[in-house]
């Protein structure tokens, strides 16, 4: 498709504007203006806000990824019948809402990803069978009514996330053999945050390599989601981890803010706020956050649930860390120091170790060293 950006006009622009209005990101036009729709400054700002909400690159330009996300965002549950179409799966926010609802009711629709796949159909069929509805695997008016009337069957612990927990427990405490995908943010022509010649893409690539080296030394299989000079889409990075059968997905970014005062480290896991949450992702985000704050003295910007593509589309627990603000002088000074990047790599590795130890170690946060880890792995190998 043709990219749409500021200054463009036409029906596609009208469609984009209508969606942004329906999402409350753009004020409705007052009707005095009847000319062709224009991709104006306000539209660009609204596109940026939308991209930010969805964890996409916030360039204010509507390319294929943003266009598809906008198209999907138009659908509310009940707007159309939903079913599994093998050749062209239905995607959209209505599918996401259906998956969330099924999970709330205790049916394993898989990780909610807004794509109506086989797993969603199986969950929907189970639901229909249990509630005496026609079992056709399609979410039409009758099924929808039943879904809306029912109170959640289970509280806390959705099957798909309970299985994640079980997998971590079964995997055992050793790091050896675990397969981790390390995702350095941005890359190629997308430099990410760029301040005074320092780019997020390069810094996170360097951090990823440091982490990779340590992981390989402990016997883990570390895979990088991109090469040094390319920028795969977020969904492709998630797909890479799924194809590799990864145990964990770790995404590395820095943050930026127009105010140079904003600073600190934050970690993100899959979660919808008050709906489903990846409990393993949340635990790992918590360990990473605690280790990094203790080891670096950076401001603690806490952990947060998000539905960004890399967190949503990965089938394994996934965490995204934003290691400080490149726009803040203190954080930038740290990030530019290779020793700091070593400390961060070590902190993340120890956090992964803690996850697999299931809280069964007594080393206080921030004190476990890389050498301790190697000794542990060697002792267990005997
Ligand atoms: Zn980034």
Q: Decide which of 3.40.50.300, 3.40.718.10, 3.40.50.2300, 3.40.630.40 is the CATH code for 172-381.
A: 3.40.630.40
Mean pLDDT along residues 193-198? 94
Give the distance (Å) from ligand 1 centre to CA of residue 251. 9
Q: How far is the CA of 185 from the centre of ligand 1 (A)?
A: 5
- Which residue has tokens 């959705």? 158
How far, in whole angstroms, is CA 353 from its chain's centroid? 21
Q: Near ion ligand 1, which residues have CB within 5 Å?
A: 185, 192, 253
CA distance 277 to 286: 13
Say how far apart CA 330 and CA 327 lie, in whole Å.
9
Instruction: For the chain, give the mean pLDDT.
Output: 88
Tell me, in angstroms, the distance from the centre of ligand 1 to residue 199's CA: 10
Structure tokens that stand for 55 in this block? 């964890």
Whether the domain at 93-155 and the domain at 172-381 fall into the same CATH topology: no
Q: In this structure, what are the phi and psi dihedrals at residue 365, rounded to the nearest 5 degrees?
A: -50, 135
Name the packing angle between helices 64-73 and 11-22 (round to 10°): 50
Ligand 1 centre from 128 Cα, in Å? Answer: 42
Spatial contact of 124 and 90, defined as CB atoms under 8 Å apart:
no
Q: Tokens 């026609």 belong to which residue? A: 134
What distance in angstroms lies between residue 118's CA and the mean position of ligand 1's atoms? 32
Distance in Å, CA 204 to ligand 1 centroid:
9
Domain boundaries, the chain: 11-73, 93-155, 172-381
What CATH class does 93-155 carry?
Answer: mainly alpha
Q: Hunting for tokens 């809306």 — which residue is that? A: 148
Among the listed residues 131, 249, 254, 120, the one whose alpha carbon sits nearest the alpha carbon of residue 186: 254
What is the Rg, in whole angstroms, of the alpha carbon atoms belonging to the chain? 22
Pairing of strands 318-325, 265-270: antiparallel
Question: How far does the centroid of ligand 1 lie from the alpha carbon of residue 325, in Å?
Answer: 10
Cα–Cα distances in angstroms (integers) from residue 89 to residues 54, 120, 121, 160, 259, in the given order: 20, 11, 11, 21, 42
Contacts of 93 (CB under 8 A, 6+ apart): 72, 73, 74, 75, 76, 114
Query: Thinking of the domain 11-73, which architecture would CATH place it in?
Result: Orthogonal Bundle (1.10)
Band the pLDDT of 203: cuts 50, 70, 90: very high
The total of other beta-carbon atoms located within 10 Å of residue 102's CB is 25
Q: Which two tokens stand for residue 12?
A: 């596609």
What string of DSSP letters covers 232-280?
A: --HHHHHHHHHHHT-SEEEEEEEE--SSTT---EEEEEEB-SSS-B-HH
Structure tokens at 99: 């998956």
Decide: helix, strand or coil at residue 62.
strand
How far is the first Cα of the chain from the last one, in angstroms, to the nearest whole number?
A: 58
The pLDDT assigned to 381 comes to 62
Predicted confidence (pLDDT) per residue in 92-141, tens digit: 999 999 998 888 777 888 888 899 999 999 999 988 988 888 899 999 99
Residue 169 is predicted with a pLDDT of 79
Region 352-358: mean pLDDT is 86
At residue 155 the predicted structure's pLDDT band, cuts being 50, 70 and 90, is very low
Do residues 335 and 178 lie in contact, with contact meaning Cβ atoms separated by under 8 Å? no
347 contacts 288 by C-beta, under 8 angstroms: yes
Band (148; pLDDT cuts 50, 70, 90): confident
Tell me how many helices (H) and strands (E) the chain has.
14, 8
Render pLDDT for 37-80 as a digit per residue (tens, 0 to 9).
899 999 999 999 998 888 788 899 999 889 989 999 989 899 99
Distance 193 CA to ligand 1 centre (A): 7
Query: pLDDT grade, residue 208 (50/70/90)?
Result: very high
Tell me, in angstroms, the distance from the centre of ligand 1 to residue 312's CA: 17
Alpha-carbon span 356 to 23, nearest angstrom: 41
Q: Which token pair is 225?
A: 């989601």
Whether 156 shows a pLDDT value over 60: the answer reads: no
pLDDT band of 263, cuts 50, 70, 90: very high
Residue the block writes with tokens 């794509």: 115
Ligand 1 centroid from CA 85, angstroms: 34
Q: How far is the CA of 378 from the centre of ligand 1 (A)?
A: 36
DSSP assignment, residue 348? Answer: H
């Amino acid at each position: 498709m043709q990219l749409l950006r500021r200054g463009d006009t036409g029906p596609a622009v009208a469609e984009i504007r209508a969606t942004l209005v329906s999402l409350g990101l753009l004020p409705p036009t007052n009707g005095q203006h009847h000319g062709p729709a224009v991709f104006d400054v306000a539209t660009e700002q609204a596109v940026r806000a939308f991209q930010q909400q969805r964890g996409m690159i916030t360039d204010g330009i509507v390319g294929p990824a943003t266009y598809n996300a906008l198209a999907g965002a138009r659908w509310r549950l009940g707007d159309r019948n939903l079913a599994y179409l093998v050749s062209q799966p239905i995607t959209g926010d209505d599918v996401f809402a259906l998956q969330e609802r099924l999970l709330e009711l205790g049916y394993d629709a898989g990780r909610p990803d807004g794509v109506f796949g086989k797993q969603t159909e199986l969950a929907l069929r189970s639901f229909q069978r249990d509630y005496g509805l026609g079992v056709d695997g399609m979410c039409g008016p009758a099924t929808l009514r039943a879904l809306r009337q029912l109170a959640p069957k289970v509280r806390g612990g959705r099957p798909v996330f309970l299985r994640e927990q079980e997998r971590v427990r079964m995997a055992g405490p050793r790091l050896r053999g675990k397969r981790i995908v390390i995702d350095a943010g941005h890359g190629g022509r997308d430099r990410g945050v760029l301040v005074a010649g320092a780019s997020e893409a390069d810094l996170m690539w360097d951090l990823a390599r440091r982490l990779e080296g340590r992981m390989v030394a402990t016997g883990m299989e570390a895979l990088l989601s991109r090469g040094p000079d390319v920028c795969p889409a977020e969904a492709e990075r998630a797909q890479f981890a799924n194809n590799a059968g990864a145990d964990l997905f770790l995404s590395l970014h820095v943050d930026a803010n127009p105010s140079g005062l904003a600073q600190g480290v934050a970690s993100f896991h899959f979660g919808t706020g008050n709906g489903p949450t990846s409990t393993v992702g949340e635990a790992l985000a918590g360990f990473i956050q605690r280790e990094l704050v203790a080891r670096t003295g950076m401001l603690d910007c806490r952990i947060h649930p998000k539905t960004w593509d890399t967190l949503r589309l990965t089938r394994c627990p996934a965490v995204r860390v934003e290691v400080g603000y490149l726009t803040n002088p203190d954080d930038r000074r740290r990030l530019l120091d290779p020793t700091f990047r070593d400390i961060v790599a070590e902190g993340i590795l120890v956090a992964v170790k803690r996850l697999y130890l299931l809280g069964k170690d007594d080393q206080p946060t921030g004190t476990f060293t890389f050498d301790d880890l190697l000794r542990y792995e060697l002792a267990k190998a005997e």
